[in-house]
Structure 1
Amino acid sequence: MDQLSDLKAILHSKRANIYYLEKCRVMQKDGRVVYLTDETNEKQYWNIPIANTTVILLGMGTSITQSAVRMLASAGVLIGFSGSGGTPLIAAGEVEWLSPQSEYRPTEYVQNWLAFWFDGNKRLAVAKRLQQLRLDYLQQVWGRDRDLQAHGLYADDADVERALSNAKTKIAQSASVTDLLTAEAQLTKNLYKIAANLTRHDGFTRDHAGEDDANAFLNHGNYLAYGLAATTLWVLGIPHGFAVMHGKTRRGALVFDVADLVKDALVLPWAFICASEKMNEQEFRQQCLQSFAEHKALDFMFEAVKTLSEEGSRL
């Protein structure tokens, strides 16, 4: 592409790629962004199609040149620094994205968001709506994904229906964000139990520092979802600090809220399935990204945040 403006031709919600790179150097070469690897004493360059990329995660042993960052910024690609396997997402000890600062972004969504955000009751109403959208998406995905169904995960399974029904009731009855977070945690705990039983992960316990494959894959997949959420919020121009559920003192809290829209539906089941099938981290990541694309997770995040913004401003 000759014109820098052409790099933004593909909408962020339609972009196909998330890159995780390690032990390489990212640079600009002949008008393209490439990464350089050193295998068996032979240097190899690999092209990154930046116009069709949403996020690049730079893992252990990576470096990036200023000219590469400039081109990534012109294409609206978010850059994150992470640990091994994409987790944790780190920079100076905090969640951090290097966001392009020279791009035009819409103003109506953040204006709508701020119209309700400072009112606690309105913020709670939007948080409830977010949780409802999350449940609707899970029912939709599990109701039509034949690969998940082949492993016993059905939207109309009695245990799944019971978990979702209880969650809907508790969401409607929640009088505070604390109540809502409790309902969210209980739903996820129930879904862990269902997925663990179906994939023979007896005695599974969620442990963010756990070294077993299921816990490691959950961490990895969740950070991929955070990348999609951060992209969504950056493109729509809504700062990450204006959360409706997670702690308002956490700078990236709204990223966690938005990522929750897809984590249970997509990351959770595949983490257990891939762990049971003894897949490695790269195979899990590919499966996770394929599932994001198949079920249009980024599209869904964009539409959900737009809906919450517009509905919230009318409260």
Structure 2
Amino acid sequence: MDDFSPSDLKAILHSRRANLYYLEYCRVMQKDGRVLYLTDTEKDNLYFNIPIANTTVLLLGNGTSITQAAMRMLAQAGVLVGFCGGGGTPLYMATEVEWLTPQSEYRPTEYLQGWLAFWFDETQRLAVAKQFQYARIEYLQKIWQNDRELRIEGFDITDGEIEKALNVFASRTENAAKPADILLTEAQLTKALYKYAANASGQTNFTRQHQSLDKANDFLNHGNYLAYGLAACCLWVLGIPHGFAVMHGKTRRGALVFDVADLIKDALILPWAFVCAKENATEQEFRQQVLQVFIDHKALDFMFDTVKSIALKDYSQEMIEERGL
């Protein structure tokens, strides 16, 4: 450990990191230069290592505590730490997860500067909001077309009902005159996708309720907060504050996190929430499934690529090459 430095922890790009942890009823600590979590059993205490260099987000649920030394190492590795309720979601659905972001003033500047170059112009901000929606739909079409397991479960992107919903969405998004119009159109599409997913999984009486305890709603809540974790990580790495949203309202806390998370929610979280509910999966099984599809479909890469392309759209090619972007 003598030759070890904090910079070594960042050798793995955030978009390539494989792990997102949710812990409950344990103590997170630093021991012998590693971050561990300690669980209590009837007979003894068990230590488990957390590979922080390959971790993006650490969620601390019920009955957890963390030491200052562990937080220092997590910060050095650029791991986002969040406190949440049971199962990875807040105790109250109206409460946001509060992210503890590693404090570093040496994050990149070009993405924030590129973002602010358009953000104060209402017309340009609306155009970017539409870009987010187009990227979201392209990603959904790609995933549902290529994911064999989803096709087996009845999610067919060529289905007439889906094609009609996407065509209406594209038309209304193109004609939207303000962010509120886009949010309304987005809500209508998501409602149509809920209906389609419910029918495909045999849950015909489904109603979206954020505080409901049925499995489909519970898994949707859980999966959405996992997506929020990836989005928060993406924005932190790029140095873009969460307040510079393009859709969810300039005064809403964490609004840009919701914008970025929406890029993957319909494509990945929505179908697997219904599939896992149909199979009566446990919270842990659902979480493992979602984390695996994040990796399989490069969800974090997609977030990074989308946000970076928008932030750098007005940068000249010479500036991009000079900065190695």
TM-score (norm 1): 0.96
Matched residue, 2:305 = 303
Counterpart amino acid of residue 268 in structure 2: L
- Alpha-carbon distance between aligned partners in 2 of 1:156 and 1:221, rounded to the nearest angstrom: 25
- Alpha-carbon distance between aligned partners in 2 of 1:282 and 1:267, rounded to the nearest angstrom: 15
RMSD across aligned positions (CA): 1.4
Q: What does 1:269-308 correspond to in 2, within 5 Å?
A: 269-308=271-310
Matched residue, 1:268 = 270
Matched residue, 1:63 = 65
Matched residue, 2:8 = 6
Aligned residue pairs, count = 312
What is the CA distance between 1:3 and its match in structure 2? 2.3
* Cα distance change on mapping 1:312 and 1:206 into 2, 3 Å: farther
| 3-state DSSP of counterpart to 1:311 | coil
* Cα distance change on mapping 1:135 and 1:68 into 2, 3 Å: same
Matched residue, 2:247 = 245
The 8 Å contact of residues 122 and 312 in structure 1, kept in 2 or not, is answered as no
Cα offsets for 1:196-243 (capped at 9, x unmatched)? 001011111100000000000000000000000000000000000000
Counterpart amino acid of residue 100 in structure 1: P
TM-score (norm 2): 0.94
Aligned-pair identity in percent equals 66
- Alpha-carbon distance between aligned partners in 2 of 1:308 and 1:260, rounded to the nearest angstrom: 16
Runs of 5+ consecutive residues of structure 1 not aligned to the other structure:
none
Counterpart amino acid of residue 113 in structure 2: Q
Q: Does 1:82 align with 2:84?
A: yes
| 3-state DSSP of counterpart to 2:313 | helix
What is the CA distance between 1:72 and its match in structure 2? 0.3
Matched residue, 1:213 = 215
The 8 Å contact of residues 76 and 103 in structure 1, kept in 2 or not, is answered as no
The 8 Å contact of residues 194 and 270 in structure 2, kept in 1 or not, is answered as yes
What is the CA distance between 1:114 and its match in structure 2? 0.5
Counterpart amino acid of residue 253 in structure 2: R
* Cα distance change on mapping 1:227 and 1:89 into 2, 3 Å: farther
Matched residue, 2:230 = 228
Matched residue, 2:124 = 122
* Cα distance change on mapping 1:298 and 1:131 into 2, 3 Å: same
* Runs of 4 or more consecutive aligned structure 1 residues displaced over 4 Å after TM superposition: none
- Alpha-carbon distance between aligned partners in 2 of 1:194 and 1:312, rounded to the nearest angstrom: 39
The 8 Å contact of residues 84 and 97 in structure 2, kept in 1 or not, is answered as no
Matched residue, 2:323 = none
- Alpha-carbon distance between aligned partners in 2 of 1:94 and 1:280, rounded to the nearest angstrom: 23
Q: Does 1:198 align with 2:203?
A: no
- Alpha-carbon distance between aligned partners in 2 of 1:203 and 1:313, rounded to the nearest angstrom: 50
| 3-state DSSP of counterpart to 2:303 | helix
- Alpha-carbon distance between aligned partners in 1 of 2:105 and 2:207, rounded to the nearest angstrom: 43
What is the CA distance between 1:94 and its match in structure 2? 4.8
The 8 Å contact of residues 59 and 85 in structure 1, kept in 2 or not, is answered as yes
| 3-state DSSP of counterpart to 1:226 | helix
Matched residue, 1:73 = 75
- Alpha-carbon distance between aligned partners in 1 of 2:47 and 2:15, rounded to the nearest angstrom: 28
